[in-house]
Structure 1
Amino acid sequence: MLLTSRRLRAALLVAASAALVAAVLPGPEPLGIGDPLFPHLGNPGYDVLTYDIAFTYRANSKPLDAVTKIDARATKHLERINLDFTSGTVRAVEVNGGSAEFTTAGEDLVITPRQAVDAGTPLAITVTHTSDPKGGGAGGWVRTADGLAMANQADAAHRVFPCNDHPADKAFFTFRVTAPAGLTAVANGLPVPALRGGAKAAARTWVYRTRHPMATELAQVSIGKSAVLRREGPHGLPLRDVVPTAQRARLEPWLRKTPAHITWMEKKVGRYPFETYGVLMAQAETGFALETQTLSLFEMSMFTDTRYPKWYVESVMVHELAHQWFGNSVTPRTWSDLWLNEGHATWYGSLWAEEHAKQSLEEQMREAYAQSDGWRAAGGPPAAPKPAAPGQQLGLFRPIVYDGSALVLYALRQEIGKDAFETLERAWVAEHRDGTATTADFTALAQRVSGRDLTGFFKGWLYGAKTPRMPGHPDWRSEAPSSRRNAAPAKH
């Protein structure tokens, strides 16, 4: 091909400009938003508004073909764009309609668009990639007996799809899941119409969309030989549970308990915050239950293993339900604020056990107090937890953020009184609904509601190396840990 001299000069200028940019830009590197517990998690420079994620599933041992579309807004001038992503192969990237160069650095996908993106402008990113269910065993996809489910907490969503994988950046989600005939796909939110294909179609595409923003760690997609059981909750709330088809009759006695659990929680803290709720019972060994938004994940064995007392199983169901308010609707701004999630969920699970199964809350809190100093020494105080060991992010979920943090709430109720405490709880989930919040936000609200200066109280209870004296119980002592609790799947 021949170029005219004018075209040649223009081409040379473009090449020179590209070379200058390449010379000025530093080498690709993993970035983060400064979370002290996860320094490379999240990415600066943009705010995600929506995710639209399409998966094509063939078998739980094979990578899924996927396309992730992200609509965002740049918050600063961007020559490069970092997304969190690993455990998949990237095939192509587009930014604002044009193809873009990409590479990887650490667990980041580093994108160089043809043109820099200015602050305040829309940012549309499309990544064509695979999503590998064998992603290294560090969370993300969970392979079940008949398909897949997701367990992305704390930092594993980016092992499934490219994203800004930090709870500080919530967004709306759409999931489009294509699976072979005979399988059912369910995801966060409510179903929307999709093409089913003909009566003999080999596959079907299922589409779900959230009506409220969601953190990436709370995403859920279930694919398997599942039955979706529907019922009505309080105020006409649509409930849907997802269980192995062959086990639906056996599990129904547990599933029918959810409407009463929601009614009980609403009496404590106010209206359920989302468009639907349900329980996903997976045939998998996860070692935990997880509060994925609108569809909480449980091991099916938790409901079929008779070693677990029935009251305990229900208290775990309430624990994950309580997270829909505390952690999902009101999301921690940093991972150091995790105690607000787990402390509250543990609190309401324990309170339910007292009111419905005669499990004394005071005795539960006294036992937690006895172990609290040991928990603080091992994991740090509730609002300043020690980082997990490298590659062991679930190590962040220690007893201090569960019973040790519920103990903080018990102490606060002792300090300000039951009425003020209940007012605080309702105000907290109402004022921060669909948003993110910090420990400082909670302590400020507690002072405003109680009309008291609680600076010293919170300094000791949230940040102290030793557990302060319990208001109303000066005789309580922290001593060697007890082994009285039943061994059971952890609650997230």
Structure 2
Amino acid sequence: MPFTLRSRVPRRLTTTLLASAASVCLLAASAPPTPLGIGDRLFPYLGNPGYDVSSYDLSFTYAGDNGKPLRAVTTIDAWTTTALDRVNLDFAHGKVESVEVDGRPAAFATAGEDLVVTPRAALPEHSWMHITVHHTSDPVAAKGRDGGWVRTADGLAMANQADAAHLVFPCNDHPSDKAMFTIRVTAPNGYTAVANGLPAGARRAAGSTTWTYRTRHPMATELAQVSIGRSTVLHRTGPHGLPVRDVVPTKDRKALEPWLARTPDQIAWLESKVGRYPFETYGVLMASADTGFELETQTLSLFEKDLFTQPAWPKWYVESIMVHELSHQWFGDSVTPRAWSDLWLNEGHATWYEALYADEKAHKPMETRMKAAYGASDSWRASGGPPALPKVPKPGQKIGIFRPNVYDGAALVLYALRQEIGRSAFERLERTWVRRHRDGTAATADFERLASDIAGRDLSGFFVAWLYGEKTPPMPGHPDWKPVPPKKKTKK
């Protein structure tokens, strides 16, 4: 998700700090249902302890633009990592009709934004569990919340980052627990449904069609995408025969085609920098929606259609934003942050390649942008926290962690690192990083260790200063760069 001049204040965190003793409720079946979490510093109630999801099977039935919730069935296969009397799932903003565990009816209750499931018998440690939840999925925005289902001019799309997938379906809603996905969507004839991964069939019945998609690589819940609309799917071929599919409003197909035609070359350019594209397909979903952001949903990035149709945005800028979201397929989607404080690894890298593309293709110097970022960096750190220690979002804000400190502020860290270890070592680091952690999760400490290994020296001091310091350190190779002092407020 790029921070652009068009971006708005992001989603809010609606939960409170998780008590460290809450996990004992996993074993206390007689106690009242309690919301749990894995203790993420920024979103403490997201995710749940005690199990590891292997796969999701999501089924949605859309009846058209009638304002009613979708009927849905979510099936979760997972391994327990401890003995469980109860299983907590993240889920809110939908009605649960029934729950089964291993084919048998299970009791359930809500607690905060958790669905607490009590199976008939306790689940042993290291056992397989199969949970089926019949529920509704409501596209009407939850009060005070953004994200989840996004209404478009002709249907729906998803924007689940960072804490909103559980507004759509029950899940373990934290990026540290990636899983395979099968997604089925039933919609009236005249609509087209597209989701992450590759198509696995379309079954037509009287008046409707059920579309099925499957991923070939694990995915974080925040990267799930479903598009339902009066859309056209356009197909082309990318590098190495990669299938590229784009989803556009049918009436805008001709006007948007010149932009879509750029994607294969953009993929080839990024492959020349960091290695082969990591997934089974890619494409752009151009939605007639007003979100205020673009989003790197896995294999099908979400864009506002107006980005491509409004003449206010120069061609080079629009292309660089396309490259930003494409970069996330490597940085954030394939290599996923282990905690939300590691967000700088996603957004810093996507901003880096966005800027590098503008430098090489549009002659917009990277150095000029980084010098400007250096000037603003102290202010960004003061308002949003250091890049790897972002401040907790304030209640009532949208996705408050998505501030300039994790975009250009984090790209500035990468620029300083390249200055420190040299271009050749930096480029080797980038390729090694995405290859070593492909389809997995990684943390800031992993990046620090790998950078030190490739540089052949301990870089811990460098990273402590650049990632966690309240003030921006001196820029290697540019002793003349100075932070710009904040403007003093004048009395009226």
Deviation string 1:330-359 (CA, Å, 9 cap, x unpaired) is 000000000000000000000000000010
Q: Partner residue of 2:439? A: 434
Could you state the TM-score of these two structures normalised by the residue count of structure 1? 0.92
Residues 1:147 and 2:155 are matched in the alignment = yes
Deviation string 1:377-412 (CA, Å, 9 cap, x unpaired) is 001100111110124351110000000000000000
Q: Partner residue of 2:179? A: 171
Q: Equivalents in 2 of 1:94, 1:258: separation in Å?
A: 43
Residue 196 of structure 1 aligns to a residue in which SS?
strand
Residue 103 of structure 1 aligns to a residue in which SS?
strand
Map 1:196-211 to 2 at 5 A: 196-197=204-205, 201-211=206-216
Letter in 2 for 1:420: A
Q: Equivalents in 2 of 1:149, 1:73: separation in Å?
A: 30
Q: Equivalents in 2 of 1:424, 1:269: separation in Å?
A: 9
Q: Equivalents in 1 of 2:28, 2:348: separation in Å?
A: 50
Q: Partner residue of 2:101? A: 95
Change (3 A) 1:227 1:194: closer
Contact 1:141 1:148 in 2 (8 A): yes
Q: Equivalents in 1 of 2:304, 2:81: separation in Å?
A: 41
Letter in 2 for 1:302: L
Contact 1:154 1:393 in 2 (8 A): no
Residue 396 of structure 1 aligns to a residue in which SS?
coil
Q: Partner residue of 2:86? A: 80
For residue 481 of structure 1, report the CA deviation from its aligned partner: 6.7
Number of corresponding residues: 459
Q: Equivalents in 1 of 2:297, 2:101: separation in Å?
A: 30
Q: Equivalents in 2 of 1:363, 1:327: separation in Å?
A: 26
Contact 2:64 2:188 in 1 (8 A): no
Q: Equivalents in 2 of 1:318, 1:23: separation in Å?
A: 49
Contact 1:138 1:391 in 2 (8 A): no
Q: Equivalents in 1 of 2:474, 2:27: separation in Å?
A: 60
Residue 88 of structure 2 aligns to a residue in which SS?
strand
Change (3 A) 1:357 1:53: same
Residue 110 of structure 1 aligns to a residue in which SS?
strand
Contact 1:135 1:159 in 2 (8 A): no
Q: Aligned to 1:129, which of 123, 127, 135? A: 135
Structure 2, unaligned runs of 5 or more? 1-25, 488-492
Deviation string 1:208-243 (CA, Å, 9 cap, x unpaired) is 000000000000000000000000000000000000
Q: Partner residue of 1:64? A: 70
Q: Equivalents in 1 of 2:159, 2:139: separation in Å?
A: 11
Letter in 1 for 2:200: V
Q: Aligned to 2:482, which of 455, 458, 477? A: 477
Which structure has the higher relative contact order (CA within 8 Å, separation 6+)? 2
Deviation string 1:267-317 (CA, Å, 9 cap, x unpaired) is 000000000000000000000000000000000000000000110000000
Residues 1:226 and 2:231 are matched in the alignment = yes
Deviation string 1:39-90 (CA, Å, 9 cap, x unpaired) is 1000000000000000000134220000000000000000010000001000
Letter in 2 for 1:171: A
Aligned-pair identity in percent equals 69
Q: Partner residue of 1:344? A: 349
Q: Partner residue of 2:111? A: 105
Q: Partner residue of 2:21? A: none
Contact 2:55 2:180 in 1 (8 A): yes
Q: Which has the larger radius of gyration?
A: 1
Map 1:254-265 to 2 at 5 A: 254-265=259-270
Q: Partner residue of 1:463? A: 468
Q: Partner residue of 1:192? A: 200
Q: Partner residue of 1:13? A: none
Map 1:374-385 to 2 at 5 A: 374-385=379-390
Contact 2:106 2:119 in 1 (8 A): yes
Could you state the TM-score of these two structures normalised by the residue count of structure 2? 0.92
Q: Partner residue of 1:333? A: 338
Residues 1:283 and 2:288 are matched in the alignment = yes
Deviation string 1:147-191 (CA, Å, 9 cap, x unpaired) is 000000001000000000000000000000000000000000000
For residue 453 of structure 1, report the CA deviation from its aligned partner: 1.2
Contact 2:27 2:86 in 1 (8 A): no
Q: Partner residue of 1:161? A: 169
For residue 25 of structure 1, report the CA deviation from its aligned partner: 2.8
Structure 1, unaligned runs of 5 or more? 1-20, 483-492
